[in-house]
């Protein structure tokens, strides 16, 4: 059972582990996770007994209503404010998110705070968000449901003569009608030969009878995202594409069935990839099997042959094998799963059985 997490515990444990006086958080998703702020500019300074959230006059009132556990400070110059607060608190060691701070910004900070040690923390803060608590999982479930229902709303429009770009717009409108704050990303709608483009954004191409159409789509709700890919046939498809669809579906089924606490995430990738390779399509599946989903549509954990993580209860990630053959087309099927005590549960709702429209 995944309980509500004490998110500030993670930050203060990080302080202790690295012997830091203060943790400087600049990534907006991480700030939202730790402090609740949903705006587009701010800095979080975490100390062992509290800390400050810094923002400018555009967001001061918003921050005072959203931020919990930190004093809200309005700045005119961000770096000067950081330096003043850190110096006044007598801090000597400052940890920062090295994957989110440029070399130029790090050098500017060092110039503002001479004598302080700036310690780069590569993934520590991002890792706080890898395990979702019950409230996050419930929100991700709702968000995925909205997106899945929206696709079902527009499938009747998927027919010969429809334009990819028009279907993308209708899908976005359907999501917002069902309660989404926004789309999670620019949708992929790729038909016919364009299905061989893993990131084939919706174009002016007109769908023809007998083609497959791949929809990669997601909603955003209260800062959280969904991600799902469905491939459908517009009329009876080419037998080669029907075969490819069956291979991708079986690869996905095998990987999903293997998800449970303790399994290596690279093993999930191997399960799907090995089956696709055995069927003769290994060279046409180039990307990783999946990725985490949460406050970012692509976040930790990575599910690929490069991963060194294992599945843990509360992780939320995608399983999305695909086969892409230039000049012919492609198939990708993607579901988002949450790891539970004895396996996993699908958050995305659209059936991945081949649907012939």
Q: Give SS3 for 274.
A: helix
Q: What is the CATH number of domain 134-346?
A: 3.90.230.10
pLDDT (0 to 100) of residue 7: 82
Residue 2 binned pLDDT confidence (cut-offs 50, 70, 90): low
Residue 177 has pLDDT above 80, yes or no: yes
7-127 and 134-346, same CATH topology: no
Please identify which residue in the block is written with the tokens 């310690």.
119
Sign of CA dihedral 312, 272, 254, 138: positive
Strand partners, 337: 317, 346
Residue 3 CA to residue 20 CA, distance in Å, equals: 28
Residue 115 CA to residue 92 CA, distance in Å, equals: 8
The string of pLDDT tens digits covering residues 164-173 is 999 999 999 9
Any idea where the domains of the chain sit in the sequence?
A: 7-127, 134-346
Q: Summarize the confidence of residues 277-290 as an average pLDDT.
A: 98
The string of pLDDT tens digits covering residues 6-30 is 788 889 999 999 999 999 999 999 9
| Residue 60 neighbours by CB distance under 10 Å | 14
Residue 4 binned pLDDT confidence (cut-offs 50, 70, 90): low
Q: Give SS3 for 325.
A: strand
Nearest to 92 by CA among 117, 112, 72, 74: 117
**Between 265-278 and 239-258, two packed helices, what is the crossing angle to 10 degrees?**
150
pLDDT (0 to 100) of residue 66: 96
Residue 201 has phi, psi (to 5 degrees) of: -60, 150
Q: Summarize the confidence of residues 332-338 as an average pLDDT.
A: 98
Residue 79 CA to residue 111 CA, distance in Å, equals: 10
pLDDT (0 to 100) of residue 9: 86
Q: Which long-range contacts (CB under 8 A, 24 or more apart) does 76-84 make?
A: 78/43, 78/54, 79/108, 79/109, 79/112, 80/112, 81/54, 82/24, 82/43, 82/45, 82/54, 82/109, 82/112, 82/113, 83/109, 83/112, 83/113
CATH superfamily name and code, 7-127: Creatinase/prolidase N-terminal domain (3.40.350.10)
**Between 134-154 and 164-177, two packed helices, what is the crossing angle to 10 degrees?**
130
Tokens of 162: 């429809």
Distances (CA, A) of 104 to 25, 122, 132: 16, 17, 33
Residue 130 has phi, psi (to 5 degrees) of: -65, -40
How much helix, strand and coil, in percent to the nearest 5, is found in the chain? Answer: 35, 25, 40
Write the CB contacts of 226 (distance below 8 Å, at least 6 apart in sequence).
Answer: 140, 143, 144, 146, 147, 148, 184, 218, 219, 220, 293, 336, 347, 348
**Between 7-17 and 28-35, two packed helices, what is the crossing angle to 10 degrees?**
110
């Amino acid at each position: 059972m995944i309980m509500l997490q004490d998110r500030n515990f993670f930050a203060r444990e990080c302080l202790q582990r690295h012997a830091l006086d203060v943790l400087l958080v600049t990534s907006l998703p991480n700030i939202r996770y730790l402090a609740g702020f949903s705006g587009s500019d701010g800095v979080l300074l975490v100390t062992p007994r509290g800390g400050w959230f810094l923002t400018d006059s555009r967001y001061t009132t918003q921050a005072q209503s959203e931020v919990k556990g930190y004093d809200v400070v309005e700045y005119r110059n961000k770096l000067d404010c950081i330096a003043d607060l850190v110096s006044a608190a007598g801090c000597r060691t400052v940890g920062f998110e090295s994957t989110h701070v440029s070399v130029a910004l790090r050098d500017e900070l060092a110039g503002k705070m001479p004598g302080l040690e700036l310690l780069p923390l590569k993934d520590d803060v991002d890792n706080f968000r890898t395990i979702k608590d019950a409230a996050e999982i419930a929100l991700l479930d709702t968000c995925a449901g909205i997106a899945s229902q929206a696709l079902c709303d527009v499938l009747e429009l998927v027919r010969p003569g429809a334009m990819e770009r028009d279907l993308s717009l209708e899908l976005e409108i359907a999501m917002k009608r069902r309660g989404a704050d926004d789309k999670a990303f620019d949708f992929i709608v790729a038909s016919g030969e364009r299905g061989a483009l893993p990131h084939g954004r919706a174009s002016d191409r007109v769908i023809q009878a007998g083609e497959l159409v791949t929809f990669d789509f997601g909603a955003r709700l209260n800062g959280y995202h969904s991600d799902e890919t469905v491939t459908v046939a517009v009329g009876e498809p080419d037998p080669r594409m029907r075969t490819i669809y069956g291979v991708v579906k079986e690869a996905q089924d095998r990987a999903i069935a293997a998800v449970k606490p303790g399994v290596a995430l690279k093993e999930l990738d191997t399960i799907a990839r090995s089956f696709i390779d055995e069927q003769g399509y290994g060279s046409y599946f180039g990307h990783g099997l999946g990725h985490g989903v949460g406050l970012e549509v692509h976040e930790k954990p990575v599910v690929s042959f490069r991963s060194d993580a294992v599945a843990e209860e509360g992780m939320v990630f995608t399983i999305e094998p695909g086969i892409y053959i230039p000049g012919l087309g492609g198939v990708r099927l993607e579901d988002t799963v949450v790891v539970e005590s004895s396996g996993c549960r699908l958050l995305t709702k659209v059936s991945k059985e081949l649907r012939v429209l």
